[in-house]
Structure 1
């Protein structure tokens, strides 16, 4: 490349890098706005009930959003290196909170899963926050190659044992979806650390086999899997929610029935304010709006990925990529479930679904990404593992 062309490329790259943080925050606010509008429309069904819960739902969601934006602002100014250095303490707190889910009077079981903690009338899901803690911890021991973290054990062995403990605890609680996400997070770190695919793919396959085997043992999870593979045979049972979701998406057509005119939200589609809010959006606003929302998520992931690639060090690259991937995978899983491409599992739609735990996780992740952006490097770094030798390409 000619030196003049290279200089122009560097100038354009610096401009994009400079405004990527503003773009990420703008996309976050846009998705939050979409969520508020969708929730207001969906919650209108409660007007026909004995209790008017519209104001209550909106107030709670706005409260969670306000809290999340404050945390996003705070974490954007906390050096992510400090979080990584204290990741073991954070991870220990996360593990303790997961154990509290099994304590009577504190733990709260929903749909057969003991993954909620109820305190003071508020329910939150510890596994959402543990995803951040685990991402920081894996970066701490893998990126820095911390030898002797525990009794001089290798960092990769420590990572495997810690991730396995969390996955086992989540499977015992019945939260197979989060267990699968933790597995994917571990595999992602192996890939970023330069492990060959011949090692990564068997690890991923073994983990998926274990999660599926546990799912088949649990009656509730087994019935969901069987309903997914035999949708036509249990329309009024386990497949009811998925059929109503497809009816909602199909009824919307290209332009939708109009904001507030959804029929499926009138107690036909369960969980229409949380995990299945996307079909209601499709019914009211149509295919065009749903594609625009998918485009917003794609832009969010690409922008966050760009920020991660310009991280000043390998720890920032790993943490940024992990948090971006977690939000992207959760979005993909939610869209896969509501369109019938994946078995039904409680994955909320990031930034849009009603609820506080996942919303706080997403906004804290955005804050950490913004902090990585504040410390950005102006060199574009790609780390490539080839024949056992790591090389870096700087553009």
Structure 2
């Protein structure tokens, strides 16, 4: 494909949303972290997290541009490699000494230059795998044994490996995204209903089968019963949101980020947005994600093939589900799971994988636009030929 044709068919509204959310996130990472970074004797640089996020953003944009050019159809041949790599990395985190523990969870591998989170790779890996295998088995989806069981076994393995870290939030978001792919792939309703029932029951058992997960659920339901204990983060998140009121206390003027609200620049960055920019700031973020979801669904609808359609839906809803879980957690509508807000929260692995996924989504959009362009040209040529014949 020529560069001019490529640029002509870029989905510019999607690109604009991605860039605006990323730049807004960069600003808010600095605002949410400069106090902590400046006071930390091991860092002693207010712009530390901002500089690192800026670096990841630049690398992410390079990855995004490359993946928007790289044909998404070529990924089908790499699906198994990516899947096996993901499973191996998750096994290394779970069963070897390579896993790095941060805040009580072992989710990272130390690559010397940075910490990499394999569960982030699992998000796009499972979406790719499900889109590929369900397209391949399109004529067998009515059969549970032949059509659905093989990918479900892989999904269960990945789910359990991520839960073991522990990271129930990411594991749940992956199951939800894969479930959406199953729905649009054409799986039978009875199978989907049964799987959803089993999934919800399993998550409930996992929650109430471990005391720390159970305490998180009870603290989310009644946060002010233990404001200095398990509910500490949620209580201070709610204080930040309440303090912002309609228009906020002003950019960089948050009080909660000054040692009160942990993970202010990662999991709880939306709380700082609410405090500093108020309801208006949060509303803008919500609208941006809603527009993104609309664009993602439209791209899926216009995709040239079934694989592109399922892949676009999986990527779109993986990001949207992650955003919903994050927003639900910081407002007390859902348990706190440690999931970041896509494109806005601080985090190298998350940002790189998100841009990798969005690059694929953009490539599907470009292929769809080119296909639609050809169809329009064919219609115009047919109309012109008919007009010429009628005149003759």
Asked whether the equivalents of residues 116 and 126 of structure 1 are also in contact (C-alpha less than 8 Å), the reply is: yes
Asked whether the equivalents of residues 183 and 204 of structure 1 are also in contact (C-alpha less than 8 Å), the reply is: no
Q: Structure 2 matches for 1:229-240, cutoff 5 A?
A: 229-240=221-232
Match of 2:253 in 1: 261
Q: Structure 2 matches for 1:14-93, cutoff 5 A?
A: 21-46=11-36, 47-50=38-41, 51-93=43-85
Q: Which runs of 4+ in 1 moved over 6 A?
A: none
CA deviation string 1:159-211 (max 9, x = no partner): 11111111122222222112212221232122112224333122112112112
Asked whether the equivalents of residues 34 and 47 of structure 2 are also in contact (C-alpha less than 8 Å), the reply is: no
| 207-216 or 74-83, which deviates more | 207-216
Match of 2:165 in 1: 173
Q: Structure 2 matches for 1:1-395, cutoff 5 A?
A: 21-46=11-36, 47-50=38-41, 51-145=43-137, 154-376=146-368, 377-378=371-372
Deviation (angstroms), 1:59: 1.6
Paired residue secondary structure (1:238): coil
Deviation (angstroms), 1:116: 1.3
Are the structure 2 counterparts of residues 173 and 49 from structure 1 closer, same or farther at C-alpha, using a change threshold of 3 Å? closer
Deviation (angstroms), 1:85: 2.3
Asked whether the equivalents of residues 20 and 307 of structure 1 are also in contact (C-alpha less than 8 Å), the reply is: no
Question: In 1, distance between residues paired with 2:357 and 2:210?
Answer: 32
Asked whether the equivalents of residues 20 and 303 of structure 1 are also in contact (C-alpha less than 8 Å), the reply is: no
| 87-96 or 219-228, which deviates more | 219-228
Question: In 2, distance between residues paired with 1:222 and 1:116?
Answer: 24
Are the structure 2 counterparts of residues 171 and 145 from structure 1 closer, same or farther at C-alpha, using a change threshold of 3 Å? same
Deviation (angstroms), 1:358: 1.3
Number of residue equivalences: 358
Deviation (angstroms), 1:147: 9.1
Asked whether the equivalents of residues 94 and 161 of structure 2 are also in contact (C-alpha less than 8 Å), the reply is: no
Question: In 2, distance between residues paired with 1:147 and 1:68?
Answer: 37
Asked whether the equivalents of residues 24 and 300 of structure 1 are also in contact (C-alpha less than 8 Å), the reply is: yes
Asked whether the equivalents of residues 72 and 367 of structure 1 are also in contact (C-alpha less than 8 Å), the reply is: yes
Are the structure 2 counterparts of residues 269 and 287 from structure 1 closer, same or farther at C-alpha, using a change threshold of 3 Å? same
| 116-125 or 335-344, which deviates more | 116-125
Paired residue secondary structure (1:346): coil
Question: In 2, distance between residues paired with 1:165 and 1:49?
Answer: 39
Deviation (angstroms), 1:20: 6.9
Scaled by the length of structure 2, what TM-score is found? 0.87
Asked whether the equivalents of residues 140 and 146 of structure 1 are also in contact (C-alpha less than 8 Å), the reply is: no
CA deviation string 1:212-240 (max 9, x = no partner): 21222223222212212232321110111
Deviation (angstroms), 1:104: 4.3
Deviation (angstroms), 1:146: 7.6
For structure 2, the 5+ residue unaligned runs are 1-7, 374-392
Question: In 2, distance between residues paired with 1:162 and 1:263?
Answer: 45
Question: In 2, distance between residues paired with 1:20 and 1:188?
Answer: 26
| Higher helix fraction (1 or 2) | 2
Asked whether the equivalents of residues 39 and 354 of structure 1 are also in contact (C-alpha less than 8 Å), the reply is: yes
Match of 1:382 in 2: none
Scaled by the length of structure 1, what TM-score is found? 0.86
Question: In 2, distance between residues paired with 1:217 and 1:112?
Answer: 18
Paired residue secondary structure (2:11): helix
